[in-house]
Amino acid sequence: MTPTLNLTINGVPQQIALDDPRATLLDVLRERLGLTGTKKGCDRGQCGACTVLIDGMRMNSCLALALSHDGAEITTVEGLAQGDTLHPVQAAFIAHDGFQCGYCTPGQIMSAVGLIAEGEAGLDPERVREGMSGNLCRCAAYAGITEAVLDATREITAGREERETA
Amino acid sequence: MNRFDYVRAETLGAAIGAEGALLAGGTNLLDLMKIGVATPDRLIDISRLPLDRIEQSGGGLRIGAMVRNAEIARDPQVLARYPALAEALLSGASAQLRNAATTGGNVMQATRCSYFQDPLSPCNRREPGSGCGALGGATRNHAVLGWTEGCIAVHPSDMCVALAAYDAVVEITGPGGLREVAMEEFHPLPDADGAGKPPLMPGEIITHIRLPDPGALARNARYVKLRERTSFAFAIVSAAAALAIEDGVITEARLALGGVAARPWRCRKAEEALKGQPASAESFARAAELATEGARPSGDNAAKTPLAQRIALRALERAAAGTPERLPALPASVFAGDDNG
Ligand SMILES: Cc1cc2nc3c(=O)[nH]c(=O)nc-3n(C[C@H](O)[C@H](O)[C@H](O)COP(=O)(O)OP(=O)(O)OC[C@H]3O[C@@H](n4cnc5c(N)ncnc54)[C@H](O)[C@@H]3O)c2cc1C
Ligand code: SF4
Ligand code: FES
Ligand code: FES
């Protein structure tokens, strides 16, 4: 019997017939759904390139067995922008040169979105660096990444406060 | 990765006695399956079992086996009363991995011995009777305490080191009913021929970890971890220390080392020596020396013993200075500063 996997990906419910239980969430996103924004670096939890949000929490999709996450809500880098308007984290990565080759970038951005939602690092650059340490960048764009995350944190918390006082 | 059957256990009853490998967060099991070290025919997915709560229990806490590592580390009770546990967890892996990793999976994670991870090398732990590929090889990360020629691997968990210092108990359920084992003794030490008997019998599952009331140890507890880089690396050596201090005198002490043995290493002699002594540099220096009593290199790793002593000393000094209100930006780092940071 071919099990059916139900996932809501970037707000869209998807039914995926899985003929092989070995598929990771990363494989499903890239190979079955053509969502190649999420990258495969090490495939072993060591680099963070495959970071997505699973039910709002950042995780490594390469070590997530797809079947184990049946029913989950997944957010990938493709789901951040609203039409042509970039997500504040995406915009901040461009503004601060938070990348060079770009390979680690989708994972960095998803990890930053998760970090800002966790709300524990705030505007302390050391806490941001520590909080982003699960994402390696072989181009070593770390300085720009930290600046981008700090800037996006300001932007997102300001937006939140505005909405709260409105 | 070999093909396998996948079943999800919806109830604890369905998981107990089930034949196959238990899958929780998958961050260790899937990794080992990808490199051909774990080759289960069947996966029992236990990630949805209702063991996902942290509850009060007899003055202490009871942590479900499915609680994620990140959740323990940000639990207000844990931060207030067991801060060395939070610091140990935050010093391990990455934020993404801690969001997926479970309590039970962390306890049961396999050694990172590179010969264990290479299916072509002999390894008594992976294949009993095949020998130990690490002996005489690259051994700088291997054990200096409690090892035999059967196996010189260390247990890689940070969480377990803090749990051992806090006298935590592992609750296990199996076809034969319930049993409990002290965290300190849960991971078997190797015997002459190999890695020793496995910690769980087939069909058994860890359901909870119980932490007794920390009493006066609560606000003088720290974890310190030496690694090759400041974050996202396993320990070379680490130490959890907790002290109860009254009028400058130590009334109770806990000290456990990580990265030195096949289990978190409780330093009972050092603890005894601290009791009744002033919380002073001399007391801590003597305790740190006693902490590694019996240590001997298992290869090219003689440096680990003095390193462990220094890390133990640092943990004791930081514990005596008091746990900071907020954990430092770089949890457990030797670069976090020698004051309270
Ligand atoms: C890149 C990387 C870096 C890491 N760095 C660190 C580090 O610095 N410090 C550290 O401590 N750890 C580190 N880890 C290890 C990490 O902590 C473990 O992978 C994780 O805790 C395992 O939990 P899990 O729920 O994902 O387990 P799984 O992978 O699901 O399971 C692991 C094992 O435990 C068994 N198991 C799971 N739950 C139970 C249960 N309830 N009862 C009985 N058996 C069970 C499984 O059958 C399996 O054998 C790192 C991992 C990676 C990939
Ligand atoms: S040290 Fe232990 S785990 Fe490593 S190769 Fe030897 S027997 Fe295997
Ligand atoms: S691809 Fe998942 S962490 Fe590297
Ligand atoms: S931008 Fe090239 S790896 Fe990060």
Report the number of distinct structural domains present in chain B.
2
Q: Which of B23, B95, B231 sits opposite A65 (nearest CB)?
A: B23
For residue B181, is it within any domain? no
Which residue in the set B23, B45, B94 is minimally distant from A133, CB to CB? Answer: B94
Query: Does B229 map to a domain?
Result: yes
For residues B326-334, give the mean pLDDT.
96
Q: What is the mean pLDDT of residues B320-325?
A: 97
pLDDT in tens, B163-177: 999 999 999 999 999
Angle at B170 between CA B289 and CA B132, to 5 degrees: 60
Q: How many Cβ pairs closer than 8 A exist between chain A and B?
A: 91
Judged by CB atoms closer than 8 Å, whether chains meet at B232 and A64 is answered as: no
Question: Does A130 contact B96 at a Cβ distance shorter than 8 Å?
Answer: no
Provide the pLDDT for residue A163.
81
CATH of domain A88-165: 1.10.150.120
Number of C-alpha atoms within 13 angstroms, CB side, residue B124?
A: 22
Ligand 1: distance of its center to the CA of B199 in Å? Answer: 15
Contact B34 A44 (CB under 8 A): yes
The number of the ligand 1 atom at minimal distance from the alpha carbon of B160 is: 11
Cβ contact A21–B94 (<8 Å): no
Cα of B46 vs centre of ligand 1, distance in Å, is 13
Inter-chain residue contact B43 with A24, CB threshold 8 Å: no
Q: Could you tell me if residue B295 is inside a domain?
A: yes
Cα dihedral B153, B158, B162, B167, rounded to 10, equals -50
Distance (Å, rounded) from C-alpha A103 to C-alpha A122? 26
The mean-pLDDT minimum among A116-130, B259-273, B304-318, B326-340 falls in B326-340
CA separation (Å) from A143 to A87, A128, A136?
20, 11, 12
The mean pLDDT of B248-258, rounded to a whole number, is 98
Residue B329 maps to a domain? no
Query: What is the residue-averaged pLDDT of chain B?
Result: 97
pLDDT single digits (tens) B186-195 = 999 999 999 9
B117 touches chain A (CB under 8 A): no
Say how far apart CA A56 and CA A117 lie, in whole Å: 9
Identify the pLDDT of residue B337: 64
Residue B221 sits in a domain whose CATH number is 3.30.390.50
Q: What is the ipTM of this complex?
A: 0.97
pLDDT band with cut points at 50, 70 and 90 for residue B199: very high
- B129 is a domain residue: no
> B162 lies in a domain?
no
**Chain B neighbors of A111, CB-CB under 8 A:** 95-96
Instruction: Give residue B16's domain range.
Output: 5-45
B21 has a chain A CB within 8 A of its CB: no
Q: Which of A68, A130, A131 sits opposite B26 (nearest CB)?
A: A68
Closest CA to B286 of B303, B298, B271, B301: B271
Nearest CA in chain B to A127: B329
Q: Mark which residues 271-330 of B lie under 8 Å from A by CB.
A: 329-330
Residue B206 inside a domain? The answer is no
Please check the confidence at residue B249 and state whether its pLDDT lies above 60. Answer: yes
Residue B303 domain-assigned (yes or no) = yes
Q: What is the pLDDT at residue B338?
A: 52
Q: What residues of chain A lie within 8 A of the CB of B8, using their CB?
A: 67-68
What architecture (CATH level 2) is domain A4-79? Roll (3.10)
- Give the pLDDT of chain A (166 residues) as one tens digit per residue: 678 999 999 999 999 999 899 999 999 999 999 999 999 999 999 999 999 999 999 999 999 999 999 999 999 999 999 999 999 999 999 999 999 999 999 999 999 999 999 999 999 999 999 999 999 999 999 999 999 999 999 999 988 888 877 7
Whole-model pTM above 0.95? yes
Q: Inform me whether the C-beta atom of residue B26 falls under 8 Å from chain A C-beta atoms.
A: yes
B340 pLDDT higher than 60 = no
Q: pLDDT tens-digit profile of B259-278?
A: 999 999 999 999 999 999 99
Do the Cβ atoms of A60 and B34 come within 8 Å? no
